[in-house]
């Protein structure tokens, strides 16, 4: 181990105590910089390279210490603010993200603007020192619990669609913001549609320049694709920050998460899940099963390796390139393959539901949620276009609206 590993190990050993409250633990992680070690020093980070941060994460996991806050705030809002926010905006918003006290959502997609995100019709009109927002967003994760939202809105309809968008931070708890849950086939309602009627955003909450929001949104989307990509083959579990009581002892948080996750059934995700099923079913000697396990592992490693490249590019101050799209497509394929393989390994038991199913219904959950990665953050089809044009050098897809003012496209 190097000096960084020694310092991180010593800090974790001195500070991890299961009797501490969740709020105290997350605050300690934030202030020490070990919670988000790739963030800049002085901004709740240590300025580490991705491979150095990965070693810190491994040390924390070996100790059994709870992870820092996850979700849209730390993974999307934080990096976007660090890349494009002013010093005042970073000072105002980043502490709540790092300490896990503020929940964020992402108001990007609309009923008519999903894969073609630049076609957003939600309008932002300047009214003195504030913007008035009117429109509809959809597929918004966690909007029913969020305090803040990353929002893109149309501010100039007289220029081509990519050039008249502004990126703003909107307070969710205000008149004019209506959140309606969308029930999924899993039975949960993680996603929402959000209706905005003269909602207000202060002019000080514009991230980047007015009308230049598409460039800022690309940073958010890059981090979203990386976040979704690296999560597919992980064997760990994420604490659902919105459901956490910050006054709870972290030991109780971990125990409660384990109990909810499977009532004493280990909550395995990704490759560890199918590997465990193959062992339990005594199928590890089957040549077809072994080949499918190898394929699942390979897909996961491709996603992980491209994720490291993405983080390295970010560390160098560069926007990640088409490797993000490779990672995204690999992750989508991984999840679909894992779900199919898991149900195949379960055999007839795959028809069972709930705790009657092997591994507490985890295979069913993978199958029902795999499509999210194929759509969220840009569909697989969009990612393949990017790979074709920027990696393979193929001709670009025809775009008849490239130089047409957005108003004329309505």
- Please give the positions annotated as active site: 224
Tally of CB atoms within 10 A around 84:
20
**Contact present, 406 and 157 (Cβ < 8 Å):** yes
**Contact present, 381 and 320 (Cβ < 8 Å):** no
Closest CA to 98 of 72, 73, 65: 73
Closest CA to 50 of 234, 302, 226: 226
- The Cα–Cα gap between 76 and 179 comes to 21
Residue 113's DSSP bridge partners are 110
CA-atom Rg of the chain in angstroms: 22
Each residue of 159-187: b (16+ CB within 10 Å) or e? bbbbbbbbbbbbebeeeebebeeeeeeee
Q: Is 116 left (phi over 0), alpha (psi -120 to 50) or beta?
A: beta
- The Cα–Cα gap between 53 and 99 comes to 18
> From the centroid of its chain, how far is CA 408?
34
Each residue of 57-77: b (16+ CB within 10 Å) or e? eebbeeeebbebbebbbbbbb
């Amino acid at each position: 181990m190097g000096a960084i590993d020694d310092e991180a190990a010593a800090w974790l050993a001195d500070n991890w105590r299961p009797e501490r409250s969740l709020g105290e633990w997350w605050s300690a992680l934030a202030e020490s910089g070990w919670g988000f070690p790739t963030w800049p020093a002085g901004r709740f980070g240590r300025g580490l390279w991705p491979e150095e941060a990965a070693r810190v994460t491994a040390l924390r996991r070996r100790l059994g210490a709870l992870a820092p806050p996850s979700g849209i705030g730390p993974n999307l809002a934080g990096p976007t603010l660090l890349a494009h926010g002013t010093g005042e905006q970073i000072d105002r918003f980043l502490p709540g993200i790092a300490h896990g006290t503020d929940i964020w959502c992402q108001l990007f997609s609309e009923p008519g603007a999903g894969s073609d995100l630049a076609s957003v019709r939600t309008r932002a009109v300047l009214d003195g020192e504030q913007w008035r927002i009117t429109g509809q967003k959809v597929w918004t994760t966690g909007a029913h619990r969020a305090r803040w939202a990353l929002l893109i809105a149309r501010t100039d309809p007289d220029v081509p669609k990519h050039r008249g968008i502004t990126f703003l931070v909107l307070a969710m708890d205000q008149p004019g913001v209506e959140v309606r849950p969308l029930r999924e086939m899993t039975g949960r309602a993680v996603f929402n549609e959000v209706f905005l009627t003269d909602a207000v955003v202060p002019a000080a909450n514009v991230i980047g320049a007015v009308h230049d929001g598409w460039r800022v949104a690309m940073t958010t989307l890059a981090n979203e694709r990386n976040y979704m990509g690296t999560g597919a083959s992980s064997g760990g579990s994420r604490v659902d920050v919105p459901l956490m009581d910050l006054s709870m002892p972290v030991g109780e948080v971990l125990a409660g998460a384990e109990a909810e996750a499977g009532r004493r059934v280990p909550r395995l995700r990704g490759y560890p899940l199918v590997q465990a099923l193959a062992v339990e079913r005594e199928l590890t000697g089957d040549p077809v099963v072994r080949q499918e396990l190898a394929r699942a592992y390979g897909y996961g490693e491709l996603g992980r390796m491209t994720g490291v490249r993405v983080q390295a590019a970010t560390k160098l101050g560069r926007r990640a390139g088409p490797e993000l799209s490779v990672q995204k497509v690999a992750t989508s394929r991984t999840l679909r393959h894992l779900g199919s393989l898991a149900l195949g390994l379960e055999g007839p038991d795959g028809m069972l539901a709930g705790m009657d199913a092997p591994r507490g219904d985890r295979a069913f959950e993978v199958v029902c949620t795999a499509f999210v990665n194929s759509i969220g953050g840009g569909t697989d089809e969009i990612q393949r276009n990017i790979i074709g044009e920027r990696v393979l050098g193929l001709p670009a897809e025809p775009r008849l609206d490239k130089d047409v003012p957005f108003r004329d496209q309505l």
